[in-house]
Amino acid sequence: MSYKTIAVILQSKEDAQRVLDCGVPLAQAWGAHLVGIHAEPIPVAYSAAVGFPDVGVIETATEAAAERTKEVETLFAERMKGAEQSFEWHTLTSFSGDSAYTGATLARAADLVIAAQRNPDWATDDAPNIEGVIYESGRPVLVVPYAGPLTRAFGRVLVSWNGSKEAARAVFDALPLIVEAEATEIFVVDPPEEGDETGASASSLAAALARHGAEVTVATEASEGRSVDEVIRDRVAATGADLLVLGAYSHSWLRQLLFGGVTRTVLHTMPVPSFMSH
């Protein structure tokens, strides 16, 4: 089992390099077709003082969008030429100009989507809306951290397990990576009381993955006043995991947008690649 179609979300030249550093080796290893997706905003017609659309502003915005597209497409084409990889390229437009959200429809035809975590030093427009593609594409998304080394293979996988349908979806979407890993740990934060289904489901999940040939263990830990995302981040560091797998938005997207949550924290701060499904 492997991924045969991989969509890469390339919002700008700032994030494109890291996404391709992750996506190209994976595509080569699996013999996958790589789909490059980049979007630009539709120029907005501003009115001049006399009440007519300011053509100069529209022309300037159009030229800037064309230049950004050329930069990203050239970077993508050069990497594909060097990799001798099967690929295709899509330039899209939308009011937002967000490559992730705008490209969600195209991404639905991919086995896996790869996008970059937002670098806090980037301008807002350079950050793809990963939440949008996770929620709208229906496909698993591999989020590449904005800093740090990128591995070309994932040897140790940490599965954040809460028994939800989103977590189950993420685990089995990540099965090709889990099977190839040297070790996978199913990690439960704040294990429930005896008899609760979450603990039993973790053991059942481990057995199911083992039947696929994966090397799996189960671990639990009490949060003891820490946030769940902090416990997960500490466990990633303690185990040396180079991939985190978790279900996205097991609570509502609106709730996490307003109050925060594990999904949003992982999207913004997790130092290792994170594999997420909704």
Higher pLDDT, 167 or 42: 167
Tokens 């809306």 belong to 129
Give 91 or 43, the one with higher predicted confidence: 91
CATH 1.20.1090.10 fits 5-144, yes or no: no
Residue-range domain boundaries for the chain: 5-144, 156-277
Confidence of residue 82 (pLDDT cuts 50, 70, 90): confident
Q: Alpha carbon of 222 to those of 188, 189, 190, 210, 229: distances in Å?
A: 9, 6, 4, 26, 12
User: Residue 255 has what pLDDT?
Assistant: 46
Using CA atoms, how far apart are residues 60 and 42, in angstroms rounded to an integer? 12
Distance CA(36)–CA(89), nearest Å, equals 5
For the stretch 246-272, pLDDT in tens is 998 765 554 444 434 788 888 888 999
Instruction: Show the tokens assigned to 23.
Output: 């996506």
Give the Cα separation of 37 and 34 in Å (integer): 10
Decide if 5-144 and 156-277 have a common fold.
yes
| Average of per-residue pLDDT values in the chain | 87
Burial 231-270 (b: 16+ CB within 10 A, else e): bbbebbeebebbbbbbbbbbeebeebeeeebbbbbbbbeb
Amino acid in the structure at residue 57: V
Predicted local distance difference test score (pLDDT) of residue 260: 45
Stated pTM of the model: 0.89
Strand partners, 8: 36, 114
Higher pLDDT, 197 or 150: 150
What is the number of other CB atoms lying within 10 angstroms of the CB of residue 53?
12
pLDDT of residue 51: 57
Q: pLDDT band for position 245 (50/70/90)?
A: very high
What is the CATH architecture of 156-277?
A: 3-Layer(aba) Sandwich (3.40)
